[in-house]
């Protein structure tokens, strides 16, 4: 069984732990650099990206996390997607720079603009999982404004990428852990 860490500094790390367990992985809460050892992959959950950055610095986790991502897969949702990007705007902030993409924070609006949408994934996603629309829960979600040539858009919403993979990494600007569909987590586990 694959051991998958869930960064447990802030955000809904418990929901990701449950989703990983449903998908057949052993979830491990990760709060320190030592916790990253012996993990096959890592999930960075949604939350508040600027708060996560402060906590990463406080716990001396920024560089260990970047190093982990250079060797092993990371799946970032919402704030996690922001942290994996190379460019962050609205406002600008540091990031791990592990995926060649530009992300605008809170691109869909404020908390009251949060929504649940049903989106059709790209055929490439359906070939690797199962067919059918995805339920996408957007909570103060970022918008991916640009993806590099080495990234693959696996789903879009209103013309913007919302599920993107690049090499070993995967990001979603929505929260797949809040629904019962495990296909996005299954796809991540297939990268381990």
Question: Annotated catalytic sites, by residue?
Answer: 78, 175, 177
Do 70 and 102 touch, CB atoms closer than 8 A? no
Distances (CA, A) of 7 to 47, 105, 121, 127: 11, 20, 26, 29
State the residue for tokens 């592990």. Answer: 98
Assess contact for 82 and 45: CB atoms under 8 A: no
Q: What is the CA radius of gyration of the chain?
A: 15
Q: HSE, CB side, 13 Å, CA atoms: give it for residue 42.
A: 27
Q: Report residue 39 as tokens.
A: 């993990």
Contact status, residue 28 vs residue 43, Cβ threshold 8 Å: no
**Residue 31 tokens, joined:** 């709060």
């Amino acid at each position: 069984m694959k051991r998958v860490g869930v960064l447990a500094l802030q955000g809904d790390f418990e929901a990701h732990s449950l989703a990983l367990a449903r998908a057949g992985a052993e979830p491990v809460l990760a709060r320190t650099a030592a916790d990253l050892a012996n993990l096959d992959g890592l999930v960075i959950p949604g939350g508040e990206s600027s708060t996560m950055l402060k906590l990463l610095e406080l716990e001396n986790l920024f560089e260990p996390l970047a190093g982990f991502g250079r060797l092993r897969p990371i799946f970032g949702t919402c704030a996690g997607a922001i942290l994996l990007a190379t460019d962050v705007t609205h406002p600008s902030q540091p990031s791990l720079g592990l995926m060649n993409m530009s992300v605008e924070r809170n691109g869909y609006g404020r908390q009251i603009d949060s929504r649940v949408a049903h989106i059709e994934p790209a055929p490439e996603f359906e070939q690797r999982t199962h067919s059918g629309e995805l339920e996408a829960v957007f909570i103060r979600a970022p918008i991916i404004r640009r993806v590099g040539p080495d990234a693959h858009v696996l789903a879009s919403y209103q013309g913007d990428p919302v599920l993107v993979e690049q090499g070993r990494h995967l990001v979603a600007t929505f929260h797949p852990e809040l629904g019962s569909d495990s296909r996005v987590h299954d796809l991540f586990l297939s990268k381990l």
